Structure 1
């Protein structure tokens, strides 16, 4: 991350040099960057110290999430929906069969389709837990003090982390 093109360029070269000192190298084919700017679309050229150029894209996938220039997650949610409908089509012959009872059809939905739809959302609970642990430390509130999460957030003057990262239309 960088505040401007020069800052980012410097960080990339430093990162590349540090990796090379440790015997590692940047895989240029797998390395992508995106620019998030209030001014709209901004294009930059990021070069490594060995004359390679990092591809600048409008969105990319990182740890199962799609990150876009606009900062939203709409594309990631849309990808989850597309993938879930793909799984639906694979099992539609069974889950839409009127001769099969509802219970096994719901079981198939719960085991095959739903996990595809909610993939990645399990990390939100971990984010919430980590957020609370950090806020407890900041507030000097030991875990043994069993304050409710909402009370800790109120004392700290912050909103729930999932509200911060939710997609908005």
Structure 2
């Protein structure tokens, strides 16, 4: 995976790719659709490396790259966003070559890879050989966070959903003075909940593998928060449908579906 050091070459490469940015952050989803054996996450010391990582390589959308990961008619070997880069490979040798190439191209233009923030995640492989940069081994991990979402060796979305619920709960508790306020209407409180809590909860939801169990966990959290905001406590009861209707809410499953369609519209 070579990076062009010449600005004109980069422009030519960008044009030949149809000006496609490789912002496939949604492919960070946890059902492991690309099923790579090796994933490397690297972080550059400067944000300006975007010139190299987003413009300098057309192989990410090439259909002839033999070592890339294939899905449908598109083969991917890296996922790039600003100064974050995730490399995908099917063997240790391929990952070593890609990492070495990236490090060399970056050094040629004065950029350094942050080794402490660079991680290696292996999936379904018996290889124990380390990946190194400048003689320093990169950390081999079972899970890491990429663009705010958790990726682990087993795939799936459970770990990320659990983390999202935890962060949303923390955001909710930080606003307890809002929920307990007698000066604010419930409509205002619900609007604050939608913008300050639910957005935290559903961040990255467009890439989740939404099983019934996951949807139920999300919905239970939302319903619990809404009931507290509306001061509905036992023995008072209200159906979930009536709860949603009162405050113009839609089921969590439908919200996730809408986010997926919106994301698809951005990526196609």
TM-score bracket, shorter-length normalisation: 0.5 to 0.7
Aligned residue pair count: 129
Matches of 1:71 and 1:31 in 2, distance apart? 20
The reply to whether residue 11 of structure 1 matches residue 98 of structure 2 is: yes
The TM-score normalised by the length of structure 2 is 0.42
| C-alpha contact 1:36 1:71 (8 A) present in aligned 2 | no
Report 1:17-166 matches (<5 A). 17-37=104-124, 43-48=128-133, 50-96=134-180, 101-121=185-205, 124-130=260-266, 133=268
More strand by share: 2
Using the TM superposition, give the Cα deviation of residue 115 of structure 1 relative to its aligned residue in structure 2, in angstroms. 1.6
Between the aligned partners of 1:110 and 1:52, the Cα distance in structure 2 is 45
**2: CA distance between counterparts of 1:10 and 1:102?**
58
Correspondence for 1:153: none
Name 2:44's counterpart in structure 1: none
Contact persistence 1:16–1:25 (CA under 8 A)? yes
SS at match of 1:70: coil
Question: In structure 2, what is the Cα distance between the partners aligned to 1:42 and 1:83?
Answer: 35
Q: Which runs of 5+ in 2 are unaligned?
A: 1-87, 207-258
Alignment RMSD, CA only?
Answer: 2.6
The answer to whether the 8 Å contact 1:36/1:70 transfers is yes
Q: CA deviation at 1:29?
A: 1.2
Q: Which has the higher helix share?
A: 1
In the alignment, is the contact (CA less than 8 A) between 1:47 and 1:53 conserved in 2?
yes
Q: 1:109 to 1:126 in 2, by over 3 A?
A: closer
Give the TM-score of the pair, scaled to structure 1: 0.64
Deviation at 1:71, TM superposition (A): 2.0
Report which structure shows greater RCO (CA 8 Å, sep ≥6): 2
Relative distance call for 1:56 and 1:126 in structure 2 (3 A) is farther
Q: SS in structure 2 opposite 1:16? A: helix
Structure 1 residue runs without a partner (length 5+): 134-169
Partner deviation per Cα, 1:37-73 (whole Å, 9 max, x = no partner): 2x6x86541112x211111111111112211111222
Task: Give deviations 1:70-99, integer Å, cap 9, x for gaps.
Answer: 122222211111000001111234325688
CA distance in 1, matches of 2:162, 2:197: 15
* Partner of residue 143, structure 1: none
